[in-house]
């Protein structure tokens, strides 16, 4: 007598589970035409901001790439491409390896990662990976000469080395290649876009991370992939539209710079997805809540020289974030700027035009800037994110 009721109950549960699984696997879409245009104030996302003066000996002109790992700052710098290490007070600690063309030397250290578990630094330089101790001593090289491409990004993830590729003059062999620590191929994902004629060489900020996973994207693929140790899956989609770059329009500067949506970098915090982009002769930065991917964006014209989150914490320069930094239980948005640019901004009429939430930090920044010399090394900026 209870059989029909049991069957109905099971059917209802099956439908419920099916719907739940569908919601879990729903692919989130990024559509710049649906971004809500507004001003983005730093205090909405960060609780404080700090400035780190990198010691001026050895001197360098600018930072190419910077990472913060285990309370140490690793910076690949211009003009010579060296990798320098500083503590969190900006004191110089050591140099990693050296630039050159011989064994154990890199041309530029701009593509690198730090494996804190094993205490090693991996530098991707042209057709090889150079491995150093975190103390800076050379360990070994892994040749990449057999792979018929030039990779542009490197990560160490769950015991393997991941190499990432991007379109260079219309050609890309892999999305990514996975090697073990001995340099033996474990797996790969090949690029699905046929080669095309193009003179453009895009940027290399094609990988971002969260606490557990890595994510890969490029201009031409619709997909942003989530990469786990044993598989990968589609996580986000760039929406289709006339605003997308394609093989047919990539070399048309009028279209690409006039109307195309060009992400420059993407990174993920605990609570948000952040995109820095260019579109219609404007800089843009967009922030979403990761659960619904509804973006708010702030845009300004290319003619403006300074861009980023409006800094209403201490009234300083707008924060143009380069990446998200994890440190114990805190996260930070990180940027870096020439020392003289910060000094000139604080001494200009712009300083203080934005009403700041923390007057004490405003005065602290004023005192900090007054000590800057025009020949000082660049300054690292860390904005501590809210929980």
207: domain CATH number is 2.120.10.30
The confidence score (pLDDT) of residue 15 equals 38
Query: Is the residue at 3 inside a domain?
Result: no
Q: Distance between CA atoms of 67 and 76, rounded to whole angstroms? A: 9
The confidence score (pLDDT) of residue 187 equals 95
Query: Is the residue at 4 inside a domain?
Result: no
> Cα(first)–Cα(last) distance of the chain, in Å?
54
Residue whose token pair is 């009028």: 254
Range of the domain at 111: 31-385
Extract the residue ranges of the chain whose pLDDT is less than 50.
1-24
Query: Is the residue at 200 inside a domain?
Result: yes
Q: Distance between CA atoms of 260 and 243, rounded to whole angstroms? A: 4
C-alpha separations of 387 from 47, 110, 329, 332 in Å: 9, 31, 10, 11
The confidence score (pLDDT) of residue 201 equals 67
Answer whether 171's CB lies under 8 Å from 195's CB.
yes
Answer whether 13's CB lies under 8 Å from 49's CB.
no
Q: Distance between CA atoms of 111 and 58, rounded to whole angstroms? A: 21
Answer whether 323's CB lies under 8 Å from 365's CB.
no
Query: Is the residue at 75 inside a domain?
Result: yes
The confidence score (pLDDT) of residue 162 equals 97
Q: Distance between CA atoms of 74 and 100, rounded to whole angstroms? A: 19
Sheet with 282-289: list strands edge to edge.
36-37, 295-301, 282-289, 272-279, 262-268
Tens of pLDDT, residues 276-308: 999 999 999 999 976 778 999 999 998 888 899
Q: Distance between CA atoms of 140 and 120, rounded to whole angstroms? A: 11
Q: Which residues contact 379 (CB under 8 A, 6 or more apart)?
A: 51, 52, 53, 54, 336, 337, 338, 339, 342, 372
Query: Is the residue at 238 inside a domain?
Result: yes
Query: Is the residue at 45 inside a domain?
Result: yes
Structure token pair of residue 95: 């140099």
Query: Is the residue at 14 inside a domain?
Result: no
Q: Distance between CA atoms of 333 and 323, rounded to whole angstroms? A: 6
The confidence score (pLDDT) of residue 290 equals 67
The confidence score (pLDDT) of residue 55 equals 97
- Is the bond preceding residue 79 a cis peptide, omega within 30 degrees? yes
What's the structural domain count of the chain? Answer: 1
Query: Is the residue at 15 inside a domain?
Result: no
Reported as type and span, the H/E element at residue 316 is: none
Burial zone of 319 (CB within 10 Å; 0-12 exposed, 13-18 middle, 19+ buried): buried
Q: DSSP class of residue 284?
A: E
Dihedral sign computed on CA atoms, order 265, 315, 290, 63: positive
Model confidence, pTM: 0.89
């Amino acid at each position: 007598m209870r059989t029909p009721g049991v069957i109905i109950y099971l059917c209802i549960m099956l439908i419920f589970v099916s719907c739940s699984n569908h919601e879990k696997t729903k692919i989130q879409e990024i559509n710049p035409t649906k971004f809500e245009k507004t001003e983005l104030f730093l205090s909405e996302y960060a609780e404080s901001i700090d400035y780190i003066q990198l010691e001026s000996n050895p001197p360098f002109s600018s930072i190419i790439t910077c990472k913060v790992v285990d309370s140490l700052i690793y910076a690949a710098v211009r003009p010579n491409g060296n990798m320098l290490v500083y503590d969190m007070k900006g004191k110089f600690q050591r140099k990693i390896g050296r630039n050159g063309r011989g064994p154990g030397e890199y041309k530029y250290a701009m593509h690198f990662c730090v494996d804190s578990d094993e205490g090693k630094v991996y530098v991707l330089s042209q057709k090889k990976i150079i491995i150093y101790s975190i103390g800076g001593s050379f360990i070994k090289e892994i040749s990449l000469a057999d792979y018929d491409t030039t990779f542009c990004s490197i990560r160490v993830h769950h015991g393997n080395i991941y190499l990432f590729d991007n379109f260079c003059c219309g050609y890309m062999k892999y999305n990514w290649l996975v090697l073990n620590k001995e340099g033996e191929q474990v797996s790969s994902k090949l690029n699905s876009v046929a080669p095309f004629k193009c003179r453009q060489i895009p940027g290399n900020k094609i990988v971002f991370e969260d606490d557990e996973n890595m994510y890969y994207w490029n201009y031409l693929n619709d997909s942003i992939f989530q990469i786990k140790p044993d598989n990968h899956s589609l996580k986000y989609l760039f929406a289709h539209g006339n605003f997308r770059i394609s093989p047919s329009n990539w070399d048309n500067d009028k279209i690409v710079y006039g109307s195309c949506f060009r992400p420059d970098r993407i990174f993920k915090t605990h609570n948000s997805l952040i995109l820095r982009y260019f579109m219609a002769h404007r800089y843009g930065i967009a922030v979403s809540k990761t659960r619904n991917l509804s973006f708010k964006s702030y845009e300004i014209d290319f003619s403006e020289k300074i861009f980023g989150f409006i800094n209403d914490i201490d009234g300083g320069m707008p924060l143009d974030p380069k990446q998200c930094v994890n440190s114990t239980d805190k996260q930070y948005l990180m940027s870096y700027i020439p020392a003289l640019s910060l000094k000139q901004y604080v001494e200009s009429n712009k300083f203080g035009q934005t009403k700041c939430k923390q007057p004490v930090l405003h005065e602290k920044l004023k005192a900090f800037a007054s000590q800057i010399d025009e020949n000082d090394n660049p300054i690292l900026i860390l904005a501590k994110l809210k929980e």
